[in-house]
Amino acid sequence: MISRKEKKLLLDREPRFDNILSSLKCGVDLPKTIVKETADAIAYARKFNDEVIRPNTLKEDIKTFEDPDYLPWDIIKKANEWGFYTMFIPRMFGGKGLSPIASSCVTEELASACVGFANVMLVHYLGVIGINVSWNMELMNRIFREVVRGEESGKPCIISLAITEPEAGTDVEENELVDRARLNCRAQRVDGGYIVNGSKVFISMGHVSDWCCLTAYTDLKRPSENAINFAVKKGMKGFYLGRHENKMGQRVCPASELVFEDCFIPDDLVLTSPDTLWDKVLKSRRDAIEQAIHYVLSVTRPGVGAFGTGVARGAYEKALEFASTTKVGGRLLINHEWAQTMLAEMYKNVLAGRLAYMEANYANSLPGGIYNPIMKKSAYYYQKYAPQSLFDKLASSPFNIRLSSWLMRAMYVDGQPLEIQQRNTGLASFAKVLGTDAGVKNCHMALEMMGQAGLRHDRGAEKILRDSKLLQIYEGTNQLNRLNMFANLIGNSIPWVRTFQD
């Protein structure tokens, strides 16, 4: 817990809380307590930065060079102890239920100290989102409560998201491109479930996850119409861990190969498939898949934008510290106008990245957005203040769970116009591109200002640059995200324009 005095000291530091969320205070349709909730979350993340991340980030980076197979169990246990793995899981499933808007601010805050650490703590929510968008309340209840028990027992339970394949990276990020991809992960229907064969690569936290949200395809020739999603448990027969990638940056967060060899996945671990009642009542299978993809990306890409904004801020803070302590021509560097204009440019990039991911969050909170069901004032206050025993009782009823699954799918997938999801995924790509490009730009500017000093590992600036480059690649390359922006924010209003053609 944080005292009121300590919270004020944490929030009064630069960047000030008032400068971070002034627009949130004006959100007339959002619950007012979100402002306080977000302030508390930022203060908590800053405290974790001070006590855990900053004292250890360079030490952990060196460990990964000494042992390329190093896994960050100490960090994972500390994050679990502080409650970060349940922070954004709904209270209905035993989590703390903080708002998704607070999650982006926490992401930026943690990434400003070390984006590798931030990924170790928060990429878990990629898996959470992958399960969420299925609206499979039975599996959500089962898996999320296992995460909560992991926190209580001190044995972390983490979820990963497995989409990328060895010869199909960017193509699997967009439903319009997936039919061109060289896919290998196939799911074959058998009695009682599916047999999966194939592999996934570059899966963040794959080596340390207990659950994997896996995408496979029943027909590799028409994957856009045959995607199927599973929840796969570590230790299941036919599910193996492959290589651990030796990366340039974000080294403390493992990127894993997952291998499936005749892996039987029973029906009760199927999140969504072409055979479920939900898919049969939807308007079309392609629309169902496309909207599910939009739902996922409308959340994950602003999250990467928040990572990038945090990186931009970390680089800016390194440059500011250097300029405040280094003399040039007898004057502190910060008193030279050229340095002031560079620092202002870097700070501008931070502000722009923050505004971009917050705009995407607001769009997701409007009707039709994935956040809307929990950001409505009635639902928000209910899940925030209702007794936990009431949630536990509701979740214990199979009928309530199955009915909730059907209603949520009908209302928030089939019941929403595709145009809304196109807007949201377009803004998500905007946030991702702007934030991550800003992160890389600020890293270059910090090194330019710091000169040779910036290349020393103990200064931390070169590590931030190494960490930043990966942000422009995952969750769809930035070039793909530019195409997605055009397709969903520009091209869809021009009847004769065709996108994703080359």
Q: What is the pLDDT of residues 296-309, one digit of tens each?
A: 788 899 999 999 99
Tell whether 170 and 152 lie within a shared domain. Answer: no
Is residue 387, in this structure, part of any structural domain at all? no
What pLDDT, in 10s, does the model give residues 340-357?
Answer: 999 999 999 999 999 999
In this prediction, what percent of the chain has a pLDDT beyond 90? Answer: 61
Average pLDDT for 17-35: 69
- Maximum mean pLDDT: which of 77-86, 88-97, 449-458, 490-499: 77-86
pLDDT digits (tens, 9 = 90+) for 206-243: 999 999 999 999 999 888 888 899 999 999 999 999 99
Mean pLDDT of the chain: 88
Position 284 pLDDT exceeds 50:
no
pLDDT at 273: 67
Number of structural domains the chain divides into:
3
Q: What is the pTM of this model?
A: 0.91
Residue finishing a domain among 157, 187, 213: 157
* Domain annotation covers residue 351: yes
> Could you tell me if 140 and 13 lie in one domain?
yes
pLDDT higher than threshold 80 for residue 416? no
Q: Are strands 327-328 and 331-332 parallel, antiparallel or unpaired?
A: antiparallel
47 Cβ neighbours under 8 A, 6+ residues apart: 2, 6, 10
What mean pLDDT comes out for the span 159-171? 88
Q: How far apart are CA 15 and CA 20, in angstroms?
A: 7
Of 125, 157, 189, the domain-final residue: 157
Do residues 217 and 296 both lie within one domain? no
348 and 431 fall within a common domain: yes
**pLDDT for residue 224:** 82
Which runs of consecutive H residues, i.e. helices, occur in 326-336? none
Among the three residues 274, 308, 337, which one is the final residue of a domain in this structure? 274
Per-residue pLDDT for 314 more than 60?
Answer: yes
Range of the domain at 325: 282-369+416-502
Give 411's pLDDT tier (boundaries 50, 70, 90).
low
Residues recorded for the chain: 502
Is residue 285 exposed (0-12), middle (13-18) or buried (19+ Cβ within 10 Å)? Answer: middle
- C-alpha distances (whole Å) from 300 to each of 206, 240, 377, 453 are 17, 26, 24, 35
The two tokens of residue 297 are: 């990306």
Using the predicted structure, report yes or no on whether residue 24 has a pLDDT greater than 80.
no
* 33-42, 129-138, 303-312: least confidently modelled range: 129-138
Which of 139-143, 364-368, 444-448 comes out lowest in average pLDDT?
364-368
Residue 44 confidence (pLDDT) above 90: yes
Same domain, 204 and 89: no
What is the rounded CA–CA span in Å between residue 24 and residue 42?
14
Greater confidence, 261 or 170? 261
Same domain, 499 and 426: yes
Q: Are residues 214 and 242 in the same domain?
A: yes
Residue 368 is predicted with a pLDDT of 77
27: pLDDT confidence band, cut at 50, 70 and 90?
Answer: low
Residue 322 to residue 314: CA distance in whole angstroms: 12
User: For residue 317, is pLDDT > 50?
Assistant: yes
Q: Is residue 449 part of a domain?
A: yes
